[in-house]
Amino acid sequence: MGMMTAEQYRESLRQVKPQVYHMGEKVESVVDHLAFVPHVNAAALTYEMALAPQFEELMTVTSHLSGDKINRFTHIHHSHDDLVKKVKMLRAVGQQTGSCFQRCVGHDGLNAVYSVTYDMDQKMGTDYHQRFIKFLREVQAKDLMISGAMTDPKGDRSLPPSGQKDSDLYVHVVERRNDGIVVSGAKAQITGAVNSHGHLVMPTAAMNKEDADYALSFYVPVDAPGVIHIFGRQTNDTRKCDCILDQGNADYGIVGGEALIIFDKVFIPWEHVFLCGEYEFAYELVERFATAHRQNYGGCKTGLADALIGTSLSLAQVQGTEQASHIRDKLVEMIHLAETIYCCSIACSCQGFPLPAGSYMADPLLANVTKLNVTRNIYEIARLAQDIAGGVIATTPSEMDLRHPKIGKYVKKYMQGVAEIPAETRFRLVRLLEAMTCGTALVESLHGAGSPQALKIMIWRRANIEHKKRLAERLAHIEE
Ligand code: SF4
């Protein structure tokens, strides 16, 4: 018990036996399979850094439940300082991984469910909050990695959960028993799912009375009977199994590693059920989770951008262009774009507020603005990085050619940049920049934590537009 080392985290994953499928095959050990090693490494860094003295203040905190020192990824925020430190922690980890490190989704889920179960108990006389606290104590004491499973497949999006032809398109209760419930359905695009210890499931949208069976939150261990994981494909994912250099970021991958989680009549004991039928609270849970996760993006993505800006500068040096004024200008622009989203994350943290449960939540309007800026700024940062790099990021021969006994010398000769720097350095930087700016890595910035339209809906709801209208009427002396 207590905070785990990275190696203890890996070993703890070997102790569980989830059903995981990848490219049509069942995976025996996620920790030891090449397709998952980078994702496990990225999550493992959240354990490793928490034990490093230089990150202690950011990555560890005192539990308000036990008084013990815990990993911040299992903490419930209790101040503005907690909210700000979360953002700084995510930037610090992102700088090291250059990729998603996954653990924040479950962390945000813990905070959302913590506060909403409190509100529910106050209004409905239920006992969800005490149940959740018991579960949370275990998460903190064992330093568990929890995925946050919110997004349902949704089927026909013009229809509510209860209107779908196939009821499994949203996770729902199929049986209520004395000792618990049985659930079926699926959660899609779940980050870090295959290398977590369990899943914290939450509803995906506001629900009405007809959708009460779909208003559900619960925890399920990753290897519970009936839980199946199907790992998603990523850009260039076969490179993970047949080369190192061509991966660009072989240590930590290009994204979090998302999976489809199937629940095929899965039993959940009552002690792990935190919302069951109280449809009026589904929206609040979604908004609190979404706010927390959107708050994050100006933290983790700024960390990634720091690494990408460094890659762009290094590549410019290797290619002999770093003195060109337009290169400097592009790098400044990238820094400006990155620091802008960081400012947004810090701002929504500072404007956060306490909830009735005593925990703190970031400002929802500013958190959504943060994420909307991320959907744009990260693409622009990537575009500038590719501009600096040149077309070489899309045309470079493979590592196999670089190592080939006969043609390797040609690859090196014609990959050479400035004479003093080895050609392989340019090769490595080109691949890293490719990995960080192509395909799946960008989609994560667009759709992770909510697509642009979802952000705009919440911005519109929270913007107090009538107040703005009244301001105009007053200035223009327009009568009510
Ligand atoms: Fe964490 Fe960022 Fe990955 Fe979300 S995208 S899980 S906030 S690292």
Residues 222-239 have a mean pLDDT of 95
- Active-site residue, selected from the candidate residues 48, 258, 278, 434: 258
Q: How many angstroms separate the Cα of 19 from the Cα of each of 139, 149, 221, 231?
A: 22, 17, 11, 11
Region label for 69, one of left (φ > 0), alpha (ψ between -120 and 50) or beta (otherwise): beta
- 7 residue type, one letter: E
Smallest CA-to-CA distance from 201 within 140, 275, 255 is with 275
Q: What are phi and psi of 187, to 5 degrees?
A: -120, 135
Ligand 1 midpoint to CA 478 (Å): 47
Atom of ligand 1 nearest to the CA of 192: 6
48 is catalytic: no
**DSSP 8-state assignment for residue 102:** -
| Ligand 1: nearest atom to the Cα of 191 | 6
Q: What is the DSSP letter of 279?
A: G
C-alpha span between 25 and 38 (Å, rounded): 19
Is-catalytic flag, 278?
Answer: no
What is the pLDDT averaged over residues 6-35?
A: 97
Distance of CA 412 to the CA centre of its chain: 38
How many Å lie between the centroid of ligand 1 and the Cα of residue 473? 42
Region 373-388 average pLDDT: 98
CA proximity to 201, closest of 189, 186, 218: 218
Residue 448 Cβ inside 6 Å of ligand 1? The answer reads: yes
Cα distance between residue 110 and residue 104, in whole Å? 10
- 57-102 pLDDT per residue, tens: 999 999 999 999 999 999 999 999 999 999 999 999 999 999 999 9
390 Cα–ligand 1 center, Å: 28
Q: Which residues pair with 227 in a beta bridge?
A: 263
Q: What is the whole-number distance in angstroms between the Cα of residue 141 and the centre of ligand 1?
A: 23
Q: Is the CB of 100 within 6 Å of ligand 1?
A: yes
Spatial distance between the Cα atoms of 309 and 334, rounded to a whole number of angstroms: 7
Measured in Å, how far apart are the chain's first and last C-alpha atoms?
64
Number of C-beta neighbours around residue 170 at 10 A: 27
Question: Would residue 100 show up in a list of annotated catalytic residues for this protein?
Answer: yes
Mean of per-residue pLDDT scores for the chain: 96
CB 275 within 8 A of CB 281: yes
Distance CA 400, CA 243 (A): 8
CA distances from 440 to 26, 80, 156, 188, 432 (A): 23, 33, 24, 16, 14
Question: Given this model, what pLDDT does residue 188 score?
Answer: 97
Provide the pLDDT confidence category of residue 480 given band limits of 50, 70 and 90.
low
The 3-state DSSP class for residue 235 equals coil
What is the mean pLDDT of the segment spanning 37-41?
Answer: 97
**Mean pLDDT of the 392-419 span:** 97
Q: Which of 74, 191, 437, 440 is catalytic?
A: 191
Name the residue at shortest CA distance from atom 6 of ligand 1: 102
Instruction: Tell whether ligand 1 has an atom less than 6 A from the beta carbon of residue 191.
Output: yes
d(CA 228, CA 231): 10
- φ/ψ of 180, rounded to 5, equals 165, -160
- pLDDT band at residue 388, thresholds of 50, 70 and 90? very high
Side-chain-facing half-sphere of 426: CA atoms under 13 Å:
26
Using pLDDT thresholds of 50, 70 and 90, give the confidence band for residue 158: very high
In whole angstroms, how far apart are CA 442 and each of 55, 380, 420?
Answer: 28, 10, 33
Helix 80-97 to helix 325-350 angle (10° resolution) is: 150
Report helix, strand or coil for 146.
Answer: strand
Residue with tokens 């800026």: 373
Residue 1's pLDDT band (cuts 50, 70, 90): confident
Q: Is 300 among the catalytic positions?
A: yes
Once rounded to an integer, what is the mean pLDDT over residues 23-36? 96
Residue with CA closest to ligand 1 atom 8: 100
Using alpha carbons only, how large is the chain's radius of gyration in Å?
23
Kindly state if the Cβ of 101 falls inside 6 Å of ligand 1: yes
For 251-310, what is each residue's pLDDT tens digit?
A: 999 998 999 999 999 999 999 999 999 999 999 999 999 999 999 999 999 999 999 999
Q: Is the CB of 92 under 6 A from ligand 1?
A: no
Band (pLDDT 50/70/90 cuts) for residue 439 is: confident
Residue nearest to atom 3 of ligand 1 (CA): 100
Cβ-count burial 9-18 (b if 16+ within 10 Å, e if not): bbebbeeeeb
What is the spatial distance between Cα 173 and Cα 266, in angstroms, rounded to a whole number? 10
Cα(286)–Cα(292) distance, integer angstroms: 10
- What tokens does 231 get? 């790992």
CA distances, 197 to each of 3, 52, 143, 144, 419 (Å):
15, 23, 10, 6, 50
Atom from ligand 1 closest to the CA of residue 108:
7
Cβ neighbours for 31, distance < 8 A, ≥ 6 positions apart: 10, 13, 14, 37, 40, 195
**What does the pLDDT average to over 453-463?**
95
Task: Measure 78 CA to ligand 1 centroid, in angstroms.
Answer: 21
- As a whole-number percent, the residues of the chain with pLDDT over 90 amount to 97
Contact 300 CB / ligand 1 (< 6 Å): yes
Q: How far is the CA of 124 from the centre of ligand 1 (A)?
A: 33
Q: Determine if ligand 1 sits within 6 Å of the CB of residue 98.
A: no
3 state SS of 289:
helix
